[in-house]
Amino acid sequence: MQPFAGIYSSMLLPNDSWETDLRFQEVCNAIKHVYASTYFDQARAYIRSTNKHIGDEKMAVLIQEVVGTKKGRYFYPTISGVAKSYNYYPSGSCSAEEGIAYLALGLGKSIVDGWNSFAFCPNRPKSPLYGTAKDYMKHSQNSFYGLNIQSIYKYVNYNEDTSLDKLDIDIARKDGVLDNIVSTYVIQDDRLYPGLYDEGSLVVDFAPILNLNTIPLAKAIKLLLEISKIVLGCAVEIEFAVNIPTIESEGAELVILQIRNMVSPQEQIHFNLDEVQDEDIILDSKDIMGHSVISDISDIIYVDQDYFDLSNSVQIVDQIRKKNEELMDKKTPYILIGPGRWGSSDPWLGIPVIWSNIAGTRAIVETPYKQRHIDPSQGSHFFHDMMASKVAYLITKKQDDINWNWIKNQNVVESSEFMKHIKTKVPLKIIVDSTKGHGVIIKDR
């Protein structure tokens, strides 16, 4: 089964007009737009990367109520979340099979698009995945998304973002929704205290829920993952939302939005790096996603960091998209290498491609950008599509993890200001083993 999460359009409508005819027309237009999105460039490129044909597509449009509560001119839930029964980035005492969950204040776009969210293991909600209080602050949300119920519907260039506003965390504080989801950082103590206090900096870490168990959210997520795995017969990913009322006597509400299959490792990979000659290793990574062996790759597209700056990250997207289309037309798989987060919504953290822009790649490599350390993202739709397509994802921490001298000595097919397409003199093999957290790209002799 090939998932299409995030490939077709989604619409969020305020549906708040007094005129019922207008509301009905808005819904009809939105449905037409979603159907039409099967022929948009993003969907067509994704379908081409699978074994499907666009003419065979059969689709129903789901109309689903947005979960949340009205707060002034905005509508949003207290918490949005994504839970995965398999964790490709296990750390500390948490195993890959125990899964992982991501929580965010407001609508789930923050998680889906790879913005800051809070990660924890549902089996061990009190086990920290971050080191120090300053690490918590670094990864904390400082903004969130809400549905603007006063937004005016415009069909031209309409998309999911039309009625969504990115809001400062202070708005949520004024709305009175932070008590159960934040801690306060006191600089004198260099310590986080669960709850909202007048003095100190706010950190969205959901400590009152996860550490003090004000609501049994971790237990509920763990149970949902276990049941869903049994029912679907495979690893699963769940999107959900939580409404926490401001009146303590009222109960919290957990709403399941989506449950879908995700790819987890089924095959055992037999690979011993000691058996590979040093001169045959092109890339070595201890930070990977995926679980596969991919052979006979001879094309690499890489961003030339000698000339590239993140201020040009939006500009280079179109060049990558065109090269991806060209290679897909030729049915030529390739390796994609570039700085920072691939698929980031923030162009200052990496190159903001969407999945259809790079759907022909078989491996994606994140390289360090100058002296900055940019944490990898797991934006839900981008990485779900990547895993479903069995694309390897490798992250390098330092420049000498890649044999740049060998790469730059290969045959150049095409070169632009910031990007090069090369053809390797010998084919390459990509090996990623999620059970060991190790991946390599080697010469396929």
Give residue-wise pLDDT tens across range 57-111. 677 888 889 999 999 889 999 999 999 998 876 666 778 889 999 999 999 888 8
Find all residues with CB under 8 Å of 400, minimum gap 6, and list them: none
Helical axes 41-48 vs 313-329, angle rounded to 10°: 50
Beta strand extents in 47-116 (DSSP E only): 69-71, 74-76, 79-84, 100-105
Q: How far apart are CA 297 and CA 392, in angstroms?
A: 13
Q: How confident is the model at residue 19 (pLDDT cuts 50, 70, 90)?
A: confident
Judge whether 266 lies within some domain.
Answer: no
Q: How confident is the model at residue 30 (pLDDT cuts 50, 70, 90)?
A: confident
Among candidates 359, 333, 293, 320, which has minimal Cα distance to 423? 333
Same-domain status, 184 and 304: no
**Cβ burial 140-157 (10 Å sphere, 16+ → b, else e):** bbebbbbbbbebebeeee
Boundary (domain end) residue, out of 15, 30, 63 = 63
**Cβ burial 251-267 (10 Å sphere, 16+ → b, else e):** ebebeebebbbbbbbee
The pLDDT of residue 377 is 57
The pLDDT of residue 270 is 63
Distance of CA 431 to the CA centre of its chain: 22
Q: How far apart are CA 83 and CA 103, in angstroms?
A: 9
Among 5-9, 173-177, 208-212, 423-427, the least confident range: 5-9
Judge whether 356 lies within some domain.
Answer: yes
Per-residue model confidence as pLDDT tens digits over 32-56: 888 888 877 777 777 766 666 666 6
Same-domain status, 124 and 224: yes
Judge whether 268 lies within some domain.
Answer: no
Boundary (domain end) residue, out of 208, 231, 261 = 261
State the pTM of this model.
0.70
Q: Output helix, strand, coil percentages for the chain, rounded to the nearest 5.
A: 25, 30, 40
Same-domain status, 303 and 242: no
Same-domain status, 124 and 242: yes
Residue 10's domain comprises 1-63
Judge whether 168 lies within some domain.
Answer: yes
CA distances from 161 to 26, 27, 36, 148 (A): 15, 16, 17, 10
Same-domain status, 280 and 254: no
The CB-based long-range contact list for 26-29 (8 Å cut-off, 24+ gap) reads 26/153, 27/63, 29/153, 29/155, 29/158
Judge whether 154 lies within some domain.
Answer: no
Judge whether 267 lies within some domain.
Answer: no
Same-domain status, 369 and 432: yes
Same-domain status, 132 and 240: yes
300 DSSP β-pair partners:
335, 422
CATH code, 216: 3.30.470
The secondary structure element, H or E, covering residue 170 is helix 169-175
Coil vs helix vs strand at 8: coil
Contact predicate 354/348, CB 8 Å: no
Same-domain status, 119 and 233: yes
Same-domain status, 289 and 380: yes
Boundary (domain end) residue, out of 261, 296, 326 = 261
Same-domain status, 166 and 311: no
Among candidates 130, 118, 119, 129, which has minimal Cα distance to 94? 129
Judge whether 84 lies within some domain.
Answer: yes
Same-domain status, 227 and 282: no
Per-residue model confidence as pLDDT tens digits over 216-254: 999 999 999 999 999 999 889 999 999 998 777 678 999
Question: Token pair for residue 207?
Answer: 């400590």
Q: Give the count of domains, the chain.
A: 3
Coil vs helix vs strand at 403: coil
Among 353-362, 374-383, 398-407, the least confident range: 374-383
Q: How confident is the model at residue 343 (pLDDT cuts 50, 70, 90)?
A: confident
Among candidates 123, 85, 83, 116, which has minimal Cα distance to 101? 83
Judge whether 205 lies within some domain.
Answer: yes
Q: How confident is the model at residue 156 (pLDDT cuts 50, 70, 90)?
A: very low
Same-domain status, 298 and 404: yes
Q: Within 13 A of 300's CA, how many CA atoms are on the CB side?
A: 26
Distance of CA 414 to the CA centre of its chain: 30
Q: Within 13 A of 239's CA, how many CA atoms are on the CB side?
A: 19
Determine the average pLDDT of the residues in 365-381.
67
